[in-house]
């Protein structure tokens, strides 16, 4: 890992780290991406290039300027509570990521999850917190594969079959999304959790909404099945997390929480970061 510190950060305003935010750029190399960040006076904690090499740009203890305006689970100051990771990509995650890049990202995230006890429900993309203005890490980002390796949360489509259909907006909110721009939020959700449907229904490269005139995502049966299944997965994960924290004494919380995270994948992979 190399370290090239950027000056675009401040203190975390007394807040603790509880979220990972994954970004994807429109630059293929780390130098080009860093040049763009410097030009815009932005930063992120880490950068993973297409060769799988990591650059640290901001100390984890500091508040990098990467998330911007947005929200997740009601938190509207994600810069203060998150670690940001930039991924080199030619089109904001609408081009395939390299195997080495994803392998390195997975190991880095596993390390950070262990270090800060970050819940699977708090591993998000830039578009998840800012759906009206961002699309990254894009429809080519392998969220399911990441979740299978302990980074983030995936779902079983069958789980949604047992739920009474709630308001689609209410389910999005309870998953974590802000819904000020509901249409953009629906497309961001679809891009993250059902990228095949996203592309089939007219999800456009480089746009945060669809391209088929008059299409309403929440009228699509597969979209609604996906939404119900994801809602069930996130609700179950948070209920389990709450149960573990509530029933454990403080000295055992770290150990028990580690077991909870382990249920979602191998979060204890050895790392040198």
d(CA 50, CA 32): 12
CA angle, corner 49, sides to 29 and 145, nearest 5?
140
Contacts of 88 (CB under 8 A, 6+ apart): 24, 25, 27, 28, 29, 30, 32, 33, 47, 48, 49, 50, 101
Token duo for residue 134 = 């961002």
Crossing angle for the helix pair 182-193 and 168-175, to the nearest 10 degrees: 60
Q: Which two tokens stand for residue 5?
A: 């510190």
Look at residue 105 and give its three-state secondary structure.
helix
Place of tokens 């995650």: 93
Enumerate residues 6+ apart whose C-beta is below 8 A from 238: 119, 121
**SS3 per-residue string spanning 156-207:** CHHHHHHCCCCCHHHHHHHHCECCCCHHHHHHHHHHHHCHHHHHHCCECCCC
Backbone angles phi, psi at 84, to 5 degrees: -100, 135
Residues 86, 94, 107, 186: which is the catalytic one?
Answer: 86
End-to-end CA distance of the chain: 8
Contact residues for 77 (Cβ-Cβ < 8 A; gap 6+)? 13, 15
94 is an active site residue: no
Q: Which residues are catalytic?
A: 86
């Amino acid at each position: 890992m190399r370290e090239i510190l950027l000056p675009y950060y401040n203190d975390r305003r007394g807040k603790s780290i509880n979220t990972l935010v994954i970004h994807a750029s429109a630059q293929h190399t780390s130098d080009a991406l860093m040049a763009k960040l410097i030009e815009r006076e932005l930063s992120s904690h880490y950068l993973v290039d297409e060769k799988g090499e990591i650059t640290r740009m901001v100390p984890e203890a500091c508040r990098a300027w990467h998330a911007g305006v947005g929200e997740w689970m009601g938190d509207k100051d994600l810069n203060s509570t998150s670690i940001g990771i930039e991924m080199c990509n030619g089109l904001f995650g609408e081009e395939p990521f390299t195997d080495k890049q994803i392998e390195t990202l997975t190991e880095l995230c596993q390390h950070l999850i262990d270090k800060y006890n970050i819940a699977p429900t708090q591993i998000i993309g830039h578009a998840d917190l800012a759906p009206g203005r961002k699309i990254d890490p894009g429809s080519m980002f392998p969220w399911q594969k990441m979740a299978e390796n302990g980074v983030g949360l995936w779902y079983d489509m069958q789980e949604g079959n047992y739920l009474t259909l709630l308001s689609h907006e209410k389910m999005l909110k309870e998953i974590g999304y802000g819904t000020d721009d509901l249409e953009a939020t629906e497309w961001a959700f679809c891009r993250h959790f059902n990228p095949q449907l996203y592309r089939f229904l007219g999800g456009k490269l480089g746009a945060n909404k669809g391209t088929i005139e008059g299409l309403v995502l929440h009228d699509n049966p597969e979209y609604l099945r996906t939404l119900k299944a994801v809602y069930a997965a996130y609700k179950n994960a948070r209920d389990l997390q709450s149960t573990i924290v509530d029933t454990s004494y403080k000295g055992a919380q770290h150990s028990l929480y580690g077991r909870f995270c382990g249920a979602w994948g191998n979060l204890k992979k050895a790392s040198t970061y």
